Structure 1
Amino acid sequence: VSQWSEIIHSVLQSDKLLQATWNGDEEAVAKGMEEAHLNTSHLQYNDENALSYTVSLAYYSARQYYTIIRELPTGKGFADMVFLPKKKYADKPAMIVELKWDGTADTALRQIRDKHYTEALKDYKGNILCVGITYDRGSKKHTCRIEKETI
């Protein structure tokens, strides 16, 4: 077991991040992203692809509950990441995650609204969490904004 302690720690951190997202705890999500960023091996963390990689790793435990789709076509663009609950976990909210580099989390949420990303989930019934995650190159900080929608 001691040989697996680092992996166990990462999975537990991922569980905490997912719970924080469900709870709408924006500060905890931003902090979780920063911790995940420190644990990734990117030499360059300078674009949305690198941020997407970090988000995928950070939400690793979400695979238990969700089918995760990257770059989901929405008609007016592509949602960076969409988490659709598996049938067994229909009580969990769907999540649309929009990533921004050197932008604001509010801008990411505005993009979800302006490009009608939730319409891509028209067959889904239930709660949707719209999650904007950003990374500021200057401050090296992540920020997060979460809004809840019901379809």
Structure 2
Amino acid sequence: MSLSPLLAVPPRLDDQLCFAVYSTMLALNKIYRRLLKPLGLTYPQYLVMLVLWEQDGLTVSQIGERLFLDSATLTPLLKRLAAQGVLERQRAQRDERQVLIHLTESGRQLGELAKGIPACVGEATGCSLDEVVRLRESLVQLRNALARAD
């Protein structure tokens, strides 16, 4: 389908892909906010912790690559998590410009408490596991296409 007929009509909010993604993220954030409150985490902090629960001892730049965040955005998040006692920031011995991020015992325990969150979010979607997997795959394809177009 050509986009040219669509260009003749003033854009409508409800027809915009960006608004569908944005408003869905707002709704998803509400679910996460409720689930993460007992853990004392915000959604961005949870994403950082997910990366570290998967692989501990990463550099700030490695975490940033996984989360598509620059160090200026990530550093304050890491400092707050360190102040909460769930991770430690240490200068690398080989290169003091690099900061390594390690979970504390408290951070590892938090991971155990967070294990049920994906199932709760999945249930909130009202979708089957197959539908969630297909939707995630479509969103990853969209993200990658947009990154290539940038």
TM-score exceeds 0.5: no
TM-score, normalised by the number of residues in structure 2: 0.29
Structure ranking higher in helix proportion: 2
Give the TM-score, by structure 1 length: 0.28
Higher normalized contact order (CA 8 Å, seq sep 6+, divided by chain length): 1
Larger radius of gyration: 2
